[in-house]
Amino acid sequence: MHPSNKIFDQVLVGTWQLSGTHGAIHPKKVLENMHRYFENGFCFWDTADHYGPAEDFLGTFVEEVEERHGRKESEKIKILTKWVPTHPQKRGLPECEIDSAYITKNIDRSLKRLRRDQLYVLQLHWWDYEDQRLYDVMNELCKLKDQGKVLHLAVTNFDAKHFEKLLKDGYPIASNQVRYSLIDRRAEKDMLRVCQTYNVPLLAFGTLCGGLLSEKYLGQDDPERSLSFSEKGLYHKLINQFGGWSQFQDLLHVLDEISKELNCRLSSVASQFILGRKEVSSVIIGSRLQHDHDIDKTKEIPQIFLSKDQREKISNILDRGLHLGDWMGEVASEYRGKAFVEQTSPSLKE
């Protein structure tokens, strides 16, 4: 499967940081950095309809590339977006009828914002598996694919059971995007088996645990009090469950040792460990486009190779920690029900 899969590049640039929870957005700086990525060979972008103005920025970026370099160059830009049908007042499915007109209106909105006639990849998120409208929606999305509005249909944050059901039912699913890192290895519980069985890859996000898997925290005291809620809620809790800050430091030291052997960044080793799984076609690296970013650090991820011994050194540390599947259950469970409340609650005992 990997690296022969031709739909995706090995590293995608993520735009979640434009969603409005990561500080002020400076349009000029964002677009400048998008062009910097393009000039350095990055053509694949991951976004979503609910990432604030991210789709609009990418649409403007596509137009500017065409103006500067021509249509042929702009067509190299491949955008993966998501459709997350959500109730306007809460996290959950809308109560209105999710019919053909409703679906088409939402897909047309993304097409308009992205300045495209066709979505390269449309990834569907679904809040409630008990809501059987999922299959009606999938049927309508397949019609839009047949009409040419969508080139590849995919899903995001599906658990293994429901991902496999869609594949068994014959839906043309190109990928599933889930959180997968050295700390959060729930995808290994059952998801990788599904990927192998149906030859459909994973796109992995969160491989750096919101930046915690980096040199910045090597040898440092636990920064819990200085972290933002999003970092603490999404990632710091996972480290505590994995084995605590001391055990996390042991992992960082091993990654640092290997990074010195390979003459690369610690964070690149962490991402390459996940990318090296044959079921994973791509890692999604979140870029704070409103700030300058070390693009060389991102470029080196697919260029490094971890030996069997190096991978075993990392695995030995991981085996000392709690596998999050034993605590949180299925991959992507944090987006549904009790697990979502527990994962994001600031009062969760750590």
Categorize the per-residue pLDDT at 90 as very low, low, confident or very high, splitting at 50, 70 and 90. confident
For the chain, give the mean pLDDT: 90
Q: What domains are defined for the chain?
A: 11-211+269-306 (3.20.20.100)
* pLDDT (0 to 100) of residue 5: 56
Distances (CA, A) of 36 to 56, 65, 183, 291: 18, 11, 31, 12
Task: Determine the Cα–Cα distance for residues 114 and 65; give it in Å rounded to an integer.
Answer: 13
122-132, pLDDT tens digit by residue? 999 999 999 99
Half-sphere exposure at residue 271, Cβ-oriented, CA atoms within 13 angstroms: 31
Strand partners of residue 251: none
Task: Determine the Cα–Cα distance for residues 163 and 100; give it in Å rounded to an integer.
Answer: 23
* pLDDT (0 to 100) of residue 100: 96
- For residue 318, pLDDT beyond 60: yes
* Alpha-helix runs per DSSP H in the chain: 27-39, 54-69, 71-74, 100-114, 133-147, 160-168, 191-198, 229-231, 237-242, 245-262, 266-275, 295-299, 308-320, 325-328, 337-344
The CA-based diameter of the chain, rounded to the nearest angstrom, is 57
Categorize the per-residue pLDDT at 310 as very low, low, confident or very high, splitting at 50, 70 and 90. very high
173-200, pLDDT tens digit by residue? 999 999 999 999 999 989 999 999 999 9
> Which residues make Cβ contacts (< 8 Å) with residue 292, sequence separation at least 6?
29, 33
* pLDDT (0 to 100) of residue 91: 81
Structure-model confidence comparison of residues 150 and 20, the more confident one: 150
* pLDDT (0 to 100) of residue 321: 82
